[in-house]
Structure 1
Amino acid sequence: MKQGTRHLGSLAGKVASSLADQATASGTNFVMNVLLARWLSRTDYGAFSVCWSFCLIFAAFHNAIILEPMTVVGPAEYGSHLAKYFQIVRRLNWYIVGALGVLAVATALFYHEANVRIALAFLAIALPGYLLLLTARRKQYVVNQPTRAFRISVVYALAAGAMLVLLRAFSWLSAATGVICIAMALPVAVWAQSRDKRRTETGDTASIALAAVTREHWRYGKWLFASAILAVGVPDIQTILLSAIVDLKSAGALRALMNFILPLSQAATVLSVYALPGLARRMKNYGAGLGLRQAVLFPAVITAIALVYLGALVACGSLIERLLYNGRMAPYLVYLPLLALAALISAIGAGFTTLLRAAQNSQHQLFAGIAATVVGVAAAMLLLRNYGLQGAMISMVLANAASTLWIVGTYCYMVHRSRASWSEAWADLLGHHLRDGKLSTAAASE
């Protein structure tokens, strides 16, 4: 009994650390965006918003090649030699980060808005450190140590917050200098990697080649990478299109409204990141047919959380806006129901896509992303010029609906084609928990 209680206590502690880590990391970006929206002019915040959208797009490329494969391929294929595997991934990561830094420079050279170009130039400097920080945090989830990820996020929050306050105090704050706050990720990432290197120094003599790891990462991540290229994030593409077709003020307003739902999206992310390694192992051991059925409660939980959060947001939107923006974004609250609808549809898709990723079906994200991009861009081209921000909101609803329909359809197809039945899946899951309970009781009695 005591051993079972300790196990539950340890699990609860790790879940709490995961939530605290994601809350701190997303909270840092959230607070930074809110303060910049309050302190900058609407045009300057619009320029920063476009820059931040490009940052998220580059991070999606990095996620496809490094983070997602590391989370799934690492424990599934190199579980007995993780220390050696991480050494190889560290080398691969530097190559990818350097290439994305060069891509950021190219974007800065060719973007049409002058003040956005300057901010993108600063992003090219800040981006490598930010991506290294994301890698350091994700690694802790692979080794089931979310508390360490939380510590990294706290240090980054303090560093970025101190820089933001310093820039504000000396009246140096602008769209470009706001990006410097992101650059504080580099020293934090170097510190975290040095600590990890000391922890993971082992006598593991396993031979793992860089080429082999690169092939495994590419095999899993190629669909995600193609999706990141062909299926740009829905809010990000709408922000960029608003800046190009309408104006920077509208782009900034969209980003400011997106801050309202950032806590929800990050909560879904942390639950997915924490659950993904365990789901991947279950799919590997028991097969996708049983695993996909047994894990259907995961998207149900994500959807329930979204309904509660978005209901509270719509009901208390005016109060929340005053607390965050002091009335600066009040004229845009009329679009909050559309934003909530888009977020709910996205949350449903996020729950099911986690199950498909655990089953190593990453290609679904490419097609779901393409559907979202085609629908979203087509709707934006038809609506933005005449309807501005409202057109962007409608485009997001349609784009998220197209993506989620593809994701849920893929899940249903994979479940339907497998030989396992729902009753067999639930019986197996119940039997697994009963066996665990008996083992814990036997161990406690000894």
Structure 2
Amino acid sequence: MSRPLLRKSAASLLDQVALSGLNFVIGLILIRWVSKADYGLYTTLFAAGILATTFLDALIGTSVTTLSARLPAHERLGYAARALRLHLLASLGLGLLFALSAIALLAEAHLPTPELLSTSAAFGAYVVTLGAREFCRTAHFIDGQPGNVLQIDAVFVLATLLAGLALAQLGAPSLAEVLTTLAAANLLASARPVWRLVQLRLQARADLPPNPPAPLRQGSSAALLRQLWPLSRWALPGALIGWLCNYSYLYFAGALLGLTASADLNAARILLIPIGLMGVAWSRVARPMAGQLIAQQEWSGLSRLARQSLLGIEGVTWLYVLLLGLAFPWLASHLLGDKYRNVEPLLWLWGVYFSINAARTIGTTWLAAFGAFKPLFWLSLGSFGVLCAALAWLMPRHGAAGAIMALILIEALELIVSWAWLLPRARKAMQAAGDPR
């Protein structure tokens, strides 16, 4: 990788290692202390939390990132600060919606009414505060400051660990207590950066030039949403369908094979969380950089960045998977426990999935940097249709392994279409339009 990308990716990777380690610890605690059915329920709610952040990022974060690449470097964080109020309002609305949805989900699991209500309320609070922290992270990635992101998440991880230790003194934590702890840690971690973004918004309003460019014009949240909507209207459905492609297997597994199958799938996947988060760390740093290269039509630089990224990510992925495979007997004995000894074959399938996912992620990140959200939507829609058919056919025949096989098929399909068709078309369209962006 290039030196600037490598340096920024290192800070972002360290950030993701901290988050990965925290998720790993939480997952292991639940794996060891709760039943498979309860852990399956947690994984379902956790995936729903990812859906909330996916929605918010597609509606606001992705479009803000794409449009800010057109601005001078010193104006990008101020532009992101303009979207803060819109993002917080959307987070509050989603928190309420997801809390109500959790009531229906938990009722199906036959939880007692007090536990059902407390868990649903805690989940809603988690969604709201997670949205706030994720937007602060997005704003600092736009500003090219992954070190600031690391500071935000360091506070989150430290607060969660300290609260978790306090809970451990009281015995095995309930799901409501875990979600409340995460919500409180999110709130603590995002308080200071949110206040800084508020100050930047006020300063940007005071310093606005007489005739500012369109991305900098002040207005209401509704006006800003109208400005973002030409990109968001395709990014949003595409991202939501992308989430379905990535996480609907949990719901299929729960419906077709039971919550224990969801638990097995996630117990194997949790061991590879560092690989998935490494890809996230790379994309959060690389997407603004790719957007700037595309705006300048530096195609050779973009190709070089893609090659370096692919070699780096794939090398780390396969090294990690091989080491994990060698260490699995020890992990099964000391971490997962006897009830998850059967997940080793799933571990290797997840390794294949993440290796293809790494190459596919580079392609879709480049397409997002081009602003090609409409073709990404149609790609995701087609992929989801194929996934549903693959899950329905493979899972009854191969059980939990069939779910991962279906996901591998979809990743391979999107990899080929992105690199062989969509990216060349996006580049030709920009060259033909002569748009320097």
Q: 1:36 aligned to 2:66? A: no
2:52 maps to 58
Q: Matches of residues 26-105 of structure 1 in structure 2 within 5 Å?
A: 26-77=20-71, 79=73, 81-82=75-76, 84-105=78-99
Moved more, 184-193 or 316-325: 316-325
Contact kept, 8 Å, 1:268 with 1:347, in 2: the verdict is: yes
1:337 maps to 348
**SS state of the match for residue 177, structure 1?**
helix
Q: 2-side partners of 1:120 and 1:304: how far apart?
A: 41
After TM superposition, give the deviation of residue 333 of structure 1 in Å: 0.9
Q: Matches of residues 362-373 of structure 1 in structure 2 within 5 Å?
A: 362-373=373-384
Q: 1:113 aligned to 2:115? A: no
Contact kept, 8 Å, 1:129 with 1:187, in 2: the verdict is: no
After TM superposition, give the deviation of residue 121 of structure 1 in Å: 4.3
Q: 1:384 aligned to 2:395? A: yes
- The residue identity in structure 1 corresponding to 2:127 is L
Q: 1-side partners of 2:365 and 2:332: how far apart?
A: 32
After TM superposition, give the deviation of residue 213 of structure 1 in Å: 2.9
Q: 1-side partners of 2:6 and 2:47: how far apart?
A: 34
After TM superposition, give the deviation of residue 413 of structure 1 in Å: 3.4
Moved more, 60-69 or 373-382: 373-382
Unaligned runs of 5+ in 2: 210-216, 432-437
Contact kept, 8 Å, 1:45 with 1:175, in 2: the verdict is: no
After TM superposition, give the deviation of residue 108 of structure 1 in Å: 1.8
TM-score by length of 2: 0.84
1:145–1:296 Cα change, 3 Å: closer
2:192 maps to 191
- The residue identity in structure 2 corresponding to 1:49 is T
Q: 1-side partners of 2:196 and 2:240: how far apart?
A: 34
Q: 2-side partners of 1:308 and 1:182: how far apart?
A: 31
Contact kept, 8 Å, 2:367 with 2:426, in 1: the verdict is: no
Q: 2-side partners of 1:83 and 1:178: how far apart?
A: 33
Q: 2-side partners of 1:114 and 1:408: how far apart?
A: 46
1:318–1:63 Cα change, 3 Å: farther
After TM superposition, give the deviation of residue 227 of structure 1 in Å: 1.8
Alignment length (residue pairs): 412
**SS state of the match for residue 296, structure 1?**
helix
TM-score by length of 1: 0.83
Q: 1-side partners of 2:7 and 2:240: how far apart?
A: 37
2:136 maps to 136
Q: 1:319 aligned to 2:320? A: no
Q: 1-side partners of 2:252 and 2:38: how far apart?
A: 16
1:305 maps to 316
Contact kept, 8 Å, 1:101 with 1:124, in 2: the verdict is: yes
1:170–1:328 Cα change, 3 Å: same
1:321–1:410 Cα change, 3 Å: farther
218, 237, 242: which one pairs with 1:208? 218
Contact kept, 8 Å, 1:227 with 1:367, in 2: the verdict is: yes
Moved more, 36-45 or 308-317: 308-317
Q: 1:394 aligned to 2:394? A: no
Q: 2-side partners of 1:14 and 1:337: how far apart?
A: 30
Unaligned runs of 5+ in 1: 1-6, 421-446
After TM superposition, give the deviation of residue 358 of structure 1 in Å: 1.7
Runs of 4+ in structure 1 displaced over 6 angstroms? none
- The residue identity in structure 1 corresponding to 2:289 is G
Q: 2-side partners of 1:164 and 1:49: how far apart?
A: 18
